[in-house]
Amino acid sequence: MNYGIVLRVLGILLIIESSLMAPSLLISLYEGEHDFYPFLITIIITLIVGIILSRKKGKDNLISAKDGLAIVALGWLSISILGAMPLFLAKSTPTYIDAFFEIVSGFTTTGSSVIENVEILPKGILFWRSFTHWIGGMGILVFTIALLPALGVGGFQIYKAESPGPIAGKMAPRIKDTAKILYITYFSITILQVILLLFGKMSLFDALLHTFGTVGTGGFGIKAESVGYYKSSYIHIVIAVFMVLSGVSFSLYYSLYRKKIRDVIKNEELGLYLGIVISSTLFIAINLYMTNYGKISLSLRDSFFQVASIMTTTGYSTADFDLWPSFSKGILVLLMFIGASAGSTAGGIKVIRILVMFKLIKREILKIFHPRAIIPIRNDGRVLSNEVIAGIYSFIALYMVIFSLSTLLVTLEGVDLVTASTSVIATLSNIGPGLALVGPTRSFALYSGATKMLLSFLMLLGRLELFTIIALLAPKNWRREM
């Protein structure tokens, strides 16, 4: 492994992180609250460490696949370790482990929280929590690779390790141009949502923070009732629609920009994604209406919002869905596993893998009647290679193994199985709230430090698509190459 180049890029990441804390510092200064010095101290420490590491030199400026994995995994870990300092120093969390859990949840766009009363937090801390969603949504590393060519460093291996989905492809010939395309789209959606929320008479501060959580599919609430605090159907619908938009692969927005409308319309993953959202919304709305939930319009509004929130792994809520009928909660749990589209900011298994899995099941059924038939698996008209199919098989199998074993470990806390299993899926799929003791009106504060660290690890596993972290646990990957 080229340790010099790994440390150098990590140093660049930390320098960027220190600059991204500046808005929170300015808000703290303006509000005159006690979190100013915690931010100032953290920025200075992060900047110093970043400068020291960025001066390291490798044997060359090439980044191998192994180096890319290390940069991505250690990058997320290092920005979380230092990013947690303001919360701990400002005493917004009782322990550093709590602060670490909170900020890992932020950067991984999970939204699970250990803070039981967010409304007492200073505005600088509130801004930083939600801003980490926006930073982590597209990935601070994707932003960094736009800068690497100027430093003489190649970045595609970082992009491949960072990209959510079974296939990482470039939208443009140069990787820095791909990063720019992604961020132009990201900024555009962000600005549009802020403007629409301002039309709904939401304050600029609240509009920004809710947009950070929506576009980044993170979901940290700044009110005890989450989005339900705002008694406005307009605000609920705007946020729900943008959650759905943020769960679409960003490559499709680029196709729209290039006026390739047919590619978007014929995209199989998009079709299945929207189909699941619509059908789940209707099933839950009918179930709620039949159980005396209220008007059908209210049932549709709340079901659409919650389906959009859970499937895109955002985690906002307008109602306590833990009180909903078992049928509705069962649909939401299924959506927790599925997640949204590959190439979006969302977590979960991803719709494309579910789509391919169903095609594989269909092929095996057909081969019972035609055992000698050669039936290729296609997606959008293209034949998927055996390597991609094997990767999808492996991912789903590993996902279920990690989910099962982690659930068993969490039950050692003495919690019920629903709480334990939804705690794991909520963190592994980067969703946020679960059910029962970790439902939408509760927090993860009940767990011990050891379990919080386990759940933090699951958040990182889910955000980096399992294999990035697992691959680095092999000791041979840390041997110095001659």
Q: How many CB atoms lie within 10 A of CB 271?
A: 13
Known binder of ligand: residue 218? yes
Which range has the worst mean pLDDT, 73-82, 130-139, 462-471?
462-471
Taking CA atoms, 478 is separated from 3, 62, 258, 278, in Å, by 9, 17, 43, 47
Give domain status of residue 394, yes or no.
Answer: no
Mean pLDDT throughout 243-265? Answer: 88
Residue carrying the six token digits 């549709």: 300
Sign of CA dihedral 248, 186, 180, 138: negative
Tokens for 284, please give them.
């839950």
Residue 239 has pLDDT above 80, yes or no: yes
In a domain, 378, yes or no: yes
Q: Alpha-carbon distance 187 to 176, whole Å?
A: 16
User: Do 107 and 55 belong to one domain?
Assistant: yes
Give 379's strand partners: 382
Domain end marker among 351, 371, 387:
387
DSSP E strand boundaries for 81-236: none
- State the average pLDDT for the chain: 87
378 bridge partner residues = 383
**Residue 475 per-residue DSSP state:** G
Establish how many alpha carbons lie within 13 A of residue 209's alpha carbon, considering only the half-sphere containing its beta carbon: 24
What's the burial of 12, exposed, middle or buried (CB within 10 Å: 0-12/13-18/19+)?
Answer: buried
Whether residues 194 and 158 share a domain: the answer is: no
Q: Give the residue, 153 or 263, on which the prediction is more confident.
A: 263
| pTM for the structure as a whole | 0.90
Within a domain: 435: no
Residues 270 and 382 in one domain: yes
How many separate domains does the chain show?
A: 2
Tell me the per-residue pLDDT of 120-139, one tens digit each, with 9 for 90 and over. Answer: 999 999 999 999 999 988 77
Asked if residue 246 and residue 358 are part of one domain, the reply reads yes
Does 136 share its domain with 157? Answer: yes
Pinpoint the alpha helices (H) of 200-267: 204-215, 233-246, 250-257, 261-265
Last residue of a domain, one of 343, 364, 387: 387
Give me the pLDDT at residue 130, please: 96
Annotated ligand binding at 185? The verdict is no
State phi, psi for 379 to the nearest 5 degrees. -135, 120
In whole angstroms, give the CA distance from residue 153 to residue 63.
7
Q: Are residues 288 and 266 in the same domain?
A: yes
The number of angstroms, rounded, from the C-alpha of 211 to the middle of its chain's C-alpha atoms is 14
Position 373 scores a pLDDT of 83
Asked whether the beta carbons of 355 and 379 are under 8 A apart, the reply is yes
Asked whether residue 453 falls in the same domain as residue 306, the answer is no
In eight-state DSSP terms, residue 64 is -
Residue 161 above 50 pLDDT? no
pLDDT at 164 over 90: no
Same structural domain, 357 and 279: yes
Spatial neighbors of 90 by CB under 8 A, at least 6 apart, are: 34, 35, 38, 122, 124, 125
Alpha carbon 216 to chain centroid, angstroms: 7
Tally the C-alpha atoms within 13 A of residue 300's C-alpha that lie toward its C-beta.
Answer: 6
Who's near 260: CB < 8 A, 6+ residues apart?
none
Q: Are residues 203 and 269 in the same domain?
A: yes
- 136 is an annotated ligand-binding site residue: no
- What is residue 444's three-state secondary structure? coil
Q: Does 205 share its domain with 145?
A: no
315 is in an annotated binding site: no
Choosing from 387, 408, 426, the residue where a domain stops is 387
Asked if the structure places residue 294 within a domain, the reply is yes
Q: Position 185: which residue type?
A: T
Regarding whether 348 and 323 lie in a shared domain, the answer is yes
Domain span at 122: 1-162+447-482
pLDDT number for residue 149:
46
pLDDT confidence of residue 253: 86
Q: pLDDT category, 276, cuts 50, 70, 90?
A: very high
How is residue 112 written in tokens?
A: 């699970």
3-state secondary structure 321-359: HHHCCHHHHHHHHHHHHHCCCCCCCCCCCCHHHHHHHHH
Question: Lowest mean pLDDT: which of 125-139, 375-389, 445-459?
Answer: 375-389
Q: Specify whether 80 is located in the same domain as 196.
A: no
Closest to 89 in 3D by CA, of 46, 130, 39, 50: 39
Q: Which two tokens stand for residue 317?
A: 């809520």
Checking if the pLDDT of 32 tops 80, the result is: yes
